[in-house]
Chain A
Amino acid sequence: MKKSLYIFNPGRMSRQDNTLKYTAYDEEGAEGQTKFLPIENVADLYVFGSLDANSALYNFLGKNGVSVHFFDYYEHYTGSFMAKEYLLAGRLQVAQTGHYTSLKKRLVVARKLVEGAAFNLLKNLRYYQGRGRQVAEEIAQIELYVSGLPYATTIAELMGYEGNIRQTYYRCFEQLVNVPGFTFSSRSTQPPQNELNALLSFGNMLCYAACLSQIYHTQLNPTISFLHEPGSRRFSLALDLAEIFKPLLVDRTIFRLLNKKEIQPRDFVRELDGCLLKEAGRKTFVRVFEERLKETIQHRRLNRSVSYQHLIKLECYKLTKHLLNMEEYQPFKAWW
């Protein structure tokens, strides 16, 4: 089974025969432990620390279809090295573009994406409502927004609904995280203003990268999106898909981390103008997020056990079918 590799420490990655060799550096820059990682087991690399590498390594990674995602000091996603596309489908590409350029067709897909996202975040709220949190008002408010979705006639309107839904949802966050020391007030980014916002930013970015990795293994073009404007980031289709999966992958991870006190206020560093996760906190987050991606459910249609990560790929398949006029796209809605 292929695994994502997360690299936090500074070090050097190189190719040795058909294996990846990673040598960590210590604080003085002296070489530390060396690890060998068979390329067959590597799905992709997430680079947080400063990594030395040469073009021989990138050639090797490229030939093996391994992409590398980079993040800056503030944990923002900065870019990816993507192996040469190995799954090209001219006709699908044309169809995908057609669904973007025709407003009518684009609205259909964009609306489904918002619908799926709303359904999944409502699922979170209802779960916690069942555990005694007072979120009835917000649920009703979000349902009202959802009922308006079919009448939206522009993408901007849909984005507006999406924004309102999220804002209402985030109002519940302090309640859902029932731990003293964590306030939320409102969503803030670049930089996040408090701990919860820092976790959200970090998690959303991981989710975005996870979606991008899955899209890469299908024949969809990651730059042509429907809800988000193509170009709002380099691979905006990943943003579209991330909407659907954030409530399940990111938000639930955050609630768990905080409610079980796996991440605590001491895991953050407050700087001049924002709040960031410290390395220990990041590692904990990534570990739990990866566990979440690997967690499996019994898929009721396929009659197979599939991981959350694989659900993202299935979403790509459904989009593919929609774009090729095979079947209308139905967004993933958590059914359990």
Chain B
Amino acid sequence: MRPITATLINLYHICHRELWLHAHEVRMEFFSDAVQDGKQLHETAYPQRADRNREIMLGGSKIDFYDPKTKVVHEIKRGNKAEQAHVAQVKYYLWLLEQHGAPGATGLLEYPRLRQTQKVELLPEDYAAIAAWEADIRCIVESEQCPPVINKPFCKQCSYYELCYVDE
């Protein structure tokens, strides 16, 4: 299996089926307006952001903005509906940074549309949680069987909606 990435951690907290499909490279985001919109937001939300922010790759995961001076990871999201998934993703970044010899970083979840930001820190109890997520993700992705649909209201907004629910 390919390495676990922050994207998978995020999906794990949203929908196990989407996680499985994404990990098996059945991708839908190319057609999703929401994804396009997110990309746009990402490029335009903070035009004055300092140049010292860097994009860094850590074992297959990509952190979009990392400020090495203040040790802050910035993560921009459109809306806060899946907030706990966003928090999990940022915690994973912080954990990854620590694994790669940069401990003590903090995270900042940014919702420019909502004019809100939220601080994220890696807490002692998160280490066990992250290990559990990883184990669970491995288990789901390695299964031959794709997890069933979850039938949640937010499915309708998902780019996989039609794939999941079309049956005849």
Report the interface size for chain A: residues with CB under 8 A from the other chain.
Answer: 26
A318 adjacent to chain B (CB < 8 Å)? yes
- If the complex has contacts A324-B146, A325-B145, are A89 and B27 also in contact, measured as CB distance less than 8 A? yes
Type the 1/0 row for B149-161, where 1 means its CB is closer than 8 Å to any CB of A.
Answer: 0000000000001
Total of A-B residue pairs, C-beta within 8 Å: 52
Q: How far is the CA of A92 from the CA of B24 in the complex (A)?
A: 8
The answer to whether A89 touches B168, judged by C-beta atoms less than 8 angstroms apart, is: no
Given contacts A302-B161, A325-B144, A326-B146, contact A219 B166 (CB under 8 A): no
Q: Are A219 and B145 in contact (CB under 8 A)?
A: no
Q: Is the CB of A320 within 8 A of B163?
A: yes
Contact A324 B25 (CB under 8 A): no
Query: Which A81-98 residues sit within 8 Å CB-CB of chain B?
Result: 86-92
A199 to B31, CA, bound (A): 34
Please tell me if B30 contacts chain A, counting CB pairs below 8 Å: yes
B24–A330 CB distance below 8 A: no
Instruction: Kindly list chain A residues whose C-beta atoms are within 8 Å of the C-beta of B168.
Output: 301, 318, 330, 332-333, 335
Interface centre among A88, A90, A92, A327 (most CB of B within 10 A): A327
**Contact assessment for A89 and B163 in the assembled complex, using a CB-CB cutoff below 8 Å:** no
Task: Tally chain B residues at the interface, Cβ within 8 Å.
Answer: 16
Interface residues of A in 287-336 (CB under 8 A from B): 299, 301-302, 304, 314, 317-318, 320-321, 324-327, 330, 332-333, 335
Is B167 interfacial (CB 8 A cutoff)? Answer: yes
Question: 14 A–B contact pairs at CB < 8 A?
Answer: A86-B30, A89-B27, A91-B24, A92-B25, A301-B165, A301-B166, A302-B161, A302-B166, A304-B162, A317-B163, A320-B163, A325-B144, A327-B167, A330-B168
A302-B162, A318-B166, A330-B167 are known contacts; what are 14 more A-B pairs with Cβ within 8 Å? A87-B27, A87-B30, A88-B25, A89-B25, A90-B25, A91-B25, A92-B24, A301-B165, A317-B162, A321-B163, A325-B145, A325-B146, A332-B168, A335-B168
Residues of B at the A interface (CB closer than 8 Å) are 24-27, 30-31, 144-146, 161-163, 165-168
Task: Enumerate chain A interface residues (CB-CB to B < 8 A).
Answer: 86-92, 217, 219, 299, 301-302, 304, 314, 317-318, 320-321, 324-327, 330, 332-333, 335
